[in-house]
Amino acid sequence: MPNPDSTTPVLDLKDGSLVAAHGNWQVHALTQPGVIKALQAKLKNLARQNDALRWDLSEIGTLDHIGAQFLWNAWGKTRPKQLTVAPQHRDFFQRLASAGTLALPPKPPRRRLFNAIYDMGVDVFEHVTGFITLLGQLVLDFLRMVQAPQRAPWKEISANVYHVGYQALGITALVGFLIGVVLSFLSAQQLHTFGGDIYLVNILGMSIIRELGPLLAAILVAGRSGSAITAQLGVMRVTEELDAMLVMGLPHGFRLILPRVLALLVAMPLLVIWTDAIALLGGMVAAQLQLGLSPTYFLQQLPNAVPLPNYLIGLGKGAVFGGLIAMVACYFGLRIEPNTESLGHGTTTSVVSAITIVIVADAIFAIIFSGVGF
């Protein structure tokens, strides 16, 4: 420890029971090398007779919150019975005494497995009832549109068909073509091993038209258009446009939900046809390169390899998937709270839920129509 001067914090024991403090008890003085260690050693020796000690802080030159807190901690966070403080320093210790003992909040109790399952069940029930309510309101709005078609939101429907349908042609074509190429290459390698090259048309036709085409288009639309719908409704909630619509007497279901659902019901089957055609084109190109199957042979064998019911099942899947994606996106969009965190969480949940529901619906289709189209 350096030689003490008039500014160094010092504790002196006088008459065996009087502790006098000198110097400047500020942070820059306390952080000098060796000062804290020397004070702590001094306080450790005084701790045995703490109750009988008298403290005199009147000779302290300057004091700040750090110095006052250091002394307060040395006293066990209680004011000594006999304490002399300069008038200008009393406020520091009065604030520390009024603050009391700081305690961390208790740890929340660990959730038991039963409670977690119960909470999950309550959330699922809430979402199911909310989704059914939205479906019922959608049916009522559709009946209202049928009764008064001149008041239907045709402009909103056409605009949404353009956004979710026409603007999605590029991405669906690119992904569909690549999927067709990959599927054709992989299938051709296995079929060529067993001499079954001619059955490549059957594999591509059935897998793309009945399963991959509708499912691929639905997943792309769920990620692209579903997230956009949820984000649009969420931003309208944040900017209070939804509240303004209710004030003006414009129902959300008729002006916001119904146009988007009808648009996807119309656009999705068309996107399925487009995706099927481009994916088959990619498979046709790969078959020509890998196995030497001419496009003419491919197109001639395709109608015999894929019966018409499979094509109709694919179109039906597209319409159902489109309606489900739109309803899920609108449901989570209307549940968004007016803050940015809820907007991001709601959009993510919407996309994940829409893709999950589409896959579940595809499995249901596969079970129901397992004996159709073969």
What the chain holds in terms of domains, given with CATH numbers, is 9-99 (3.30.750), 153-369 (no CATH)
Mean pLDDT of 38-52: 72
Mean pLDDT of 52-80: 80
pLDDT of residue 1: 44
Look at the block and give the residue holding tokens 């481009």.
278
**Which residue has better confidence, 282 or 79?**
282
* Pick from 337, 157, 171, 372: nearest CA to 239: 337
**Which residue has better confidence, 280 or 56?**
280
The mean predicted confidence, pLDDT, of the chain is 85
In angstroms, the CA 139 to CA 128 distance is: 17
Q: Is the dihedral of CA 278, 283, 286, 287 positive or negative?
A: negative
User: Mean pLDDT: which of 16-20, 106-110, 169-173 is highest?
Assistant: 169-173
* H-assigned helices in the chain: 27-30, 35-46, 65-74, 90-99, 113-147, 154-164, 169-193, 200-206, 213-221, 227-238, 241-247, 252, 258-290, 295-305, 308-334, 340-368
pLDDT tens per residue across span 222-244: 999 999 999 999 998 888 888 88
Cα 308 to Cα 107, 278, 314, 315, 320, distances in angstroms: 63, 19, 10, 11, 19
Given a cut of 70, whether residue 218 has pLDDT beyond it is: yes
pLDDT of residue 294: 83
Question: Using an 8 Å Cβ cutoff, are 286 and 201 in contact?
Answer: no
Note the pTM of the prediction, 2 decimals.
0.67
Q: What percent of the chain has pLDDT over 70?
A: 93
In angstroms, the CA 216 to CA 233 distance is: 25
